């Protein structure tokens, strides 16, 4: 039964008060020929149990990571999530929390965001981090805008090895604001030429590990940025930073990343959570929120949102960013996940990822595939060169219970026979051996 709070008498009184005879009078400006005058073509109503059975039937038709061995990554990864994450983020005080405008009522909520910021800043080796953003793509675009606002330049130099979805979001942002995106070309799956980075560039953006899983030489990108006076922006994997030198040690000005790997389920491609960290000197230009630690009149520690005038909801046309909210629940998932794992636990996840990746590359090569970029060092992901269409191979392996990876032809026309394979700590030796045996059969 639908929830309709107003009775017929209520509606009649409201219509009389505003001086019309019927609800149709409220839409008198719409021409009659544009009005929909028949019943909607939708199935008949179901009761709650019938609806449950219908949805369960639809769900059984779908393939997901619980029914397939999952090697599809490309920005969203099948990683283990401790049960403590769901237990905490599902608590009502967090699950239904609203923007903490009144800190006196939101100290617990604000503290979790402050802890999130502290963890993100430490992972990336940066001075400060904000209270999360929508996802890595918008974080990267906001970093480019922050750089442009800082130095007044309107060209964004970005590697072609940055995730194609992230580059599409950046191009949309820049198109709407009369800015130019300048691509940095590749060689063997790595950014190879920074010669077009000039004094008109607001920033240089590279991703490491990049879209292909290859680890970039961040020193080269940094030197190109410094020589032109541009900001140096790095898109980084937080799990990889547990083993690799963080971007902050390469003197990055801004580091952005995707937090989905840290306690957020893959879902249907979202929700995600964007990381944004930078040097202290950009604190007043950083987009989104920051939660700060302070104390009250009695000297007791407390937390509050700070530097709010950066945001659209305060200054509108004078704001540095149009983003005025954050993925707080997903940021909390990151915080709980990292607290549960600790420093050693996160390093163990990264180490297991490296070991599984190396084993998978060996076994899949024995099955008849070749690495597209054999000389590059990788983390968690690599590109296979196949003797036939990657789309055909992917579809064939689904029947073997394997989601083999992402066919790259849809993003890079010359890579129709290439497959991007992701291997996380959750893959087992038995699963990888099964993948290799099935691939050998498909390629035979």
Q: pLDDT tens, 117-162?
A: 999 999 999 999 999 999 999 999 999 999 999 999 999 999 999 9
Domain boundary among 336, 366, 386: 336
- Residue 309's pLDDT band, with cuts at 50, 70 and 90, is low
Same domain, 34 and 113: no
378-434: pLDDT as tens digits: 999 999 999 999 999 999 999 999 999 999 999 999 999 999 999 999 999 999 999
Supply the CATH number for residue 187's domain: 3.40.640.10
Same domain, 326 and 354: no
The pLDDT > 70 percentage for the chain reads 97
Q: Is 292's pLDDT higher than 60? A: yes
Q: Distance between CA atoms of 183 and 174, rounded to whole angstroms?
A: 13
Same domain, 155 and 288: yes
| Residue 387 and residue 222 in contact, taking contact as beta carbons nearer than 8 Å | no
Same domain, 411 and 311: no
Judge whether 8 lies within some domain.
no
Burial class (CB in 10 A: 0-12, 13-18, 19+), 176: exposed
Same domain, 52 and 180: no
Judge whether 7 lies within some domain.
no
Judge whether 1 lies within some domain.
no
Output 268 or 428, whichever has higher pLDDT: 428
Supply the CATH number for residue 424's domain: 3.90.1150.10
Same domain, 181 and 212: yes
Query: Closest Cα to residue 251, out of 127, 146, 350?
Result: 127
Angle at CA 273, nearest 5°, toward 162 and 204?
A: 30
Query: Closest Cα to residue 124, out of 235, 201, 7, 47?
Result: 235
How many distinct structural domains can be found in the chain?
3
317-352: pLDDT as tens digits: 667 776 767 789 999 999 999 999 999 999 999 999
Judge whether 179 lies within some domain.
yes
Same domain, 25 and 140: no
- Provide the residue range defining the domain that includes 430: 69-81+343-443
**The pLDDT value given to residue 310:** 65
The lowest-confidence range among 101-115, 116-130, 210-224, 367-381 is 101-115
Q: Is 314's pLDDT higher than 80? A: no
Same domain, 76 and 181: no
Same domain, 178 and 278: yes
Judge whether 310 lies within some domain.
yes
Domain boundary among 283, 316, 336: 336
Q: Is 1's pLDDT higher than 50? A: no
Same domain, 242 and 279: yes
Judge whether 427 lies within some domain.
yes
Q: What is the pTM of this model?
A: 0.88
Same domain, 189 and 307: yes
Output the DSSP codes for 209-241.
S-TTSBPP-HHHHHHHHHHHT-EEEEEE-TTGG
Judge whether 9 lies within some domain.
no
Judge whether 125 lies within some domain.
yes
Query: Closest Cα to residue 384, out of 412, 437, 422, 424?
Result: 422
Domain boundary among 336, 362, 394: 336
For 97-127, letters b (16+ CB in 10 Å) and e give beebeebeebeebbbbbbbbbebbbbbbbbe
Residues in the chain: 444
Same domain, 40 and 151: no
């Amino acid at each position: 039964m639908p929830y309709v709070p107003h009775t017929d008498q209520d509606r009649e009184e409201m219509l009389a008060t505003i001086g019309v005879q019927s609800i149709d009078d409220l839409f008198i400006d719409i021409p009659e020929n544009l009005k929909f005058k028949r019943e909607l073509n939708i199935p008949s109503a179901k009761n709650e149990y019938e609806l449950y059975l219908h949805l369960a039937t639809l769900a059984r038709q779908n393939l997901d990571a619980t029914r397939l061995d999952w090697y599809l990554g490309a920005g969203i990864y099948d990683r283990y999530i401790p049960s403590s994450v769901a237990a905490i983020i599902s608590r009502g005080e967090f699950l239904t929390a609203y923007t903490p405008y009144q800190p006196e009522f939101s100290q617990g909520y604000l503290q979790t965001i402050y802890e999130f910021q502290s963890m993100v800043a430490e992972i990336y080796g940066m001075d400060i981090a904000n209270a999360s953003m929508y996802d890595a793509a918008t974080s990267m675009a906001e970093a480019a805008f922050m750089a442009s606002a800082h130095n007044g330049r309107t060209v964004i130099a970005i590697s072609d090895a940055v995730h194609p979805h992230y580059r599409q979001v950046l191009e949309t942002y820049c198109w709407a604001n009369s800015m130019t995106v300048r691509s940095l070309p590749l060689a063997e799956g790595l950014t190879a030429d920074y010669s077009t980075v000039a004094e008109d560039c607001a920033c240089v953006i590279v991703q490491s590990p990049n879209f292909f899983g290859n680890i970039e030489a961040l020193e080269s990108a940094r030197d190109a940025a410094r020589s032109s006076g541009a900001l140096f922006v790095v898109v980084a994997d937080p799990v990889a930073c547990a083993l690799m030198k963080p971007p902050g040690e390469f003197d990055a000005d801004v580091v952005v990343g995707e937090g989905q790997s840290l306690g957020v389920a893959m879902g249907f491609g979202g929700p995600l959570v964007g990381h944004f960290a930078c040097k202290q000197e950009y604190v007043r230009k950083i987009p989104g929120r920051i939660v700060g630690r302070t104390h009250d009149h009695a000297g007791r520690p407390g937390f509050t949102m700070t530097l709010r005038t950066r945001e659209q909801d305060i200054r509108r046309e004078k704001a540095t960013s149009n983003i005025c909210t954050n993925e707080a629940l997903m940021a909390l998932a990151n915080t709980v996940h990292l607290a549960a794992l600790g420093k050693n636990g996160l390093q163990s996840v990264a180490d297991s990822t490296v070991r599984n990746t190396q084993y998978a590359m060996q076994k899949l090569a024995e099955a008849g595939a070749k690495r597209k970029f054999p000389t590059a060092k990788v983390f968690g992901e690599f590109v296979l060169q196949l003797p036939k269409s990657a789309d055909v191979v992917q579809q064939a392996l689904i029947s073997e219970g394997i989601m083999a990876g992402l066919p790259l032809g849809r993003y890079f026309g010359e890579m129709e026979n290439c497959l991007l394979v992701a291997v996380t700590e959750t893959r087992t030796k038995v699963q990888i051996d099964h993948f290799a045996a099935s691939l050998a059969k498909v390629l035979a």
